[in-house]
Chain A
Amino acid sequence: MKVLSGLYYTKDHEWVKVKGNVASVGVTDFAQNSLGSIVYVELPEIDEAFEAEDSFGTIESVKAASDMLMPVSGTITEVNDELENDPSLVNSEPYENWIIKVTLSDASELEELMNAEEYEAYCNEEA
């Protein structure tokens, strides 16, 4: 299982990479591995605003559909359209293939998230 340092992580197995006021959000290696072959990623609309923990989209494996939850509050600025054509990119490179980009409405929410060490420990507990 791969965990990258320098990112924030959620208990729902999403990663957050912050640059200025914009956060890229994807799902972790642990998540893609437990989902198995991903066959569909349902993306939100640009300019949609969400609160932290709102469902912003769905990721579907052969077996099941799972909600993706906002790690922080914010407004969608970009979605990764490439995943509509090839959702398996999330399996092959989970940290390269961000799913959404959001402008943060409250940067202090990031403090609620885990760092790489904490997330790794969290996964080991779950597994």
Chain B
Amino acid sequence: MDSVKKTALFDVHEKLGGKVIDFAGWALPVQYEGIIEEHEAVRNAAGMFDVSHMGEVEVKGKDAFAFVQNLVTNDVATLEDHQILYGMMCYEEGGVVDDLLVYKLNSESFYLVINASNVDKDYAWMVEQSKGYHLTLENVSDRISEVALQGPVAQEILQKVVDVDLAEIKFFYCNPNVTIAGAKCLVSRTGYTGEDGFEVYTENENIVKVWETIMEAGKGKGLKPAGLGCRDTLRFEAALPLYGNEISKEITPLEAGLGFFVKLGKDNFIGKDALVTQKEAGLPRKTVGFEMEKGIPRHGYDVVVDDKVVGVVTTGYFSPTLKKNIGLALVESAYAEMGGALGIQVRKKVFPATICSKRFYQKNYKK
């Protein structure tokens, strides 16, 4: 693991007994105690994740708003200062460059949070798209660390160590001037688990004391360090998409069922024409949820109907919360009807599956 990058929390993970793996070029813990234990901690109490591998890009200047509005599928014009939205950057053809969070600090300053595995590609894409706009773009990923504190008692824990009233940070809003353990942090009520919780951004040099201060505050509250293993099972149960699984260059946001985050009524954004055309023509493929009695579905398994491959499993698991085998699949639209029967190719056998709602787990946000 010599070539992989380490986050500023690497030594903390080692000390906590984290099982460190190479994730998108980063040495990060897949688990500490166990994926199921950590998953349950987040659903029932709280878990803290090191997500310092995520990328951050600052957009500043008088054209910052116009640039971001053209860059992403969602409508940035609806944002107040300190409000956040989720959206996608698309190619002209409608496929996805990446999904991201857009933080509006003010109309001339935006903070874009992107996936670790896509940082270089995304930044190059942004630079290319920024031609003609008066603004500066800065990829600050290498100096910013991030932790995500998630779960129903996240607020109670974090409140003990911050100098602001967290109740004033509403869902998908942030406060860029919060002090934790003497360190200046940006705190947002966001996350990737389907639970209430916060994401905390700060300079690398501060993150160890921020982590340790929050951990200390969580003693006796059921807070556990949580690895990337349960981050994936948690986001999946809440049907939150993962780049490379549910969305990619080859899968449009409409096919992924993310039309809510694509404002086709907006003046313009990159990929709009292709997406409008796709919507008018009818989607060739749709993303469905399914469950199965026997066999655990996994990313990449074929979906088979009458001996014909009609789709692919984008994510699947034995769900730790629901104790069922469930999955998301991208299938030809003719096979996407609610309640419909599919087959999932699990190694040598095809097991029956039934299409169900993607809302496997009812999100537990404080709005």
Enumerate B343-359 residues with CB–CB distance to A below 8 Å: 347
Given A37-B34, A37-B36, A62 contacting B298 (CB threshold 8 A):
no
Enumerate B214-241 residues with CB–CB distance to A below 8 Å: 229, 233
Please state if B296 and A40 are interface contacts (CB–CB under 8 Å): yes
Given A62-B36, A65-B296, A39 contacting B347 (CB threshold 8 A):
no
Q: What separation, in Å, do the CA atoms of A46 and B36 have in the docked complex?
A: 32
Judge if B35 is at the interface, Cβ distance under 8 Å.
yes
Q: What separation, in Å, do the CA atoms of A39 and B317 have in the docked complex?
A: 10
Judge if A77 is at the interface, Cβ distance under 8 Å.
no
B315 to chain A minimum Cβ distance, whole angstroms, is 12
Judge if A120 is at the interface, Cβ distance under 8 Å.
no
**Chain A residues positioned under 8 Å from B30 (CB to CB):** 63
Q: What is the interface size of chain B, counting residues whose CB is below 8 A from a CB of the partner?
A: 15
Judge if A78 is at the interface, Cβ distance under 8 Å.
no
Please state if B298 and A65 are interface contacts (CB–CB under 8 Å): yes
Judge if B141 is at the interface, Cβ distance under 8 Å.
no
**Chain A residues positioned under 8 Å from B34 (CB to CB):** 36-37
**Chain B residues positioned under 8 Å from A40 (CB to CB):** 296, 318
Judge if B176 is at the interface, Cβ distance under 8 Å.
no
Given A58-B347, A62-B229, A36 contacting B318 (CB threshold 8 A):
no
Please state if A36 and B31 are interface contacts (CB–CB under 8 Å): yes
Q: 8 A-B Cβ contacts within 8 A?
A: A36-B19, A36-B34, A37-B34, A60-B296, A62-B36, A62-B320, A63-B30, A65-B296
Enumerate B286-326 residues with CB–CB distance to A below 8 Å: 296, 298, 317-318, 320
How many pairs, one residue from A and one from B, have CB atoms within 8 Å of each other in the complex?
Answer: 31
**Chain A residues positioned under 8 Å from B229 (CB to CB):** 36, 62-63
**Chain A residues positioned under 8 Å from B317 (CB to CB):** 62
Enumerate B16-65 residues with CB–CB distance to A below 8 Å: 19, 30-31, 34-37
A5 to chain B minimum Cβ distance, whole angstroms, is 28
List the interface of chain A (C-beta within 8 A of B): 36-37, 39-40, 58, 60-65
Please state if A62 and B318 are interface contacts (CB–CB under 8 Å): yes
**Chain A residues positioned under 8 Å from B320 (CB to CB):** 62
**Chain B residues positioned under 8 Å from A61 (CB to CB):** 35
B295 to chain A minimum Cβ distance, whole angstroms, is 8
A15 to chain B minimum Cβ distance, whole angstroms, is 22
Most chain B CB atoms below 10 A, which of A40, A60, A62, A63: A62
Please state if A63 and B35 are interface contacts (CB–CB under 8 Å): yes
Q: What separation, in Å, do the CA atoms of A58 and B35 have in the docked complex?
A: 19
Given contacts A37-B36, A61-B35, A65-B347, could you give 18 more A-B pairs where the C-beta distance is less than 8 Å? A36-B31, A36-B35, A36-B229, A39-B296, A39-B318, A40-B318, A58-B347, A60-B296, A62-B35, A62-B233, A62-B317, A62-B318, A63-B30, A63-B35, A63-B229, A64-B298, A65-B296, A65-B298
Q: What separation, in Å, do the CA atoms of A63 and B298 have in the docked complex?
A: 9
Q: Which residue of B lies closest to A34 (CB)?
A: B19
**Chain A residues positioned under 8 Å from B296 (CB to CB):** 39-40, 60, 65
Q: What separation, in Å, do the CA atoms of A125 and B318 have in the docked complex?
A: 32
**Chain B residues positioned under 8 Å from A62 (CB to CB):** 35-36, 229, 233, 317-318, 320
A25 to chain B minimum Cβ distance, whole angstroms, is 19
**Chain B residues positioned under 8 Å from A36 (CB to CB):** 19, 31, 34-35, 229
Q: What separation, in Å, do the CA atoms of A11 and B34 have in the docked complex?
A: 24
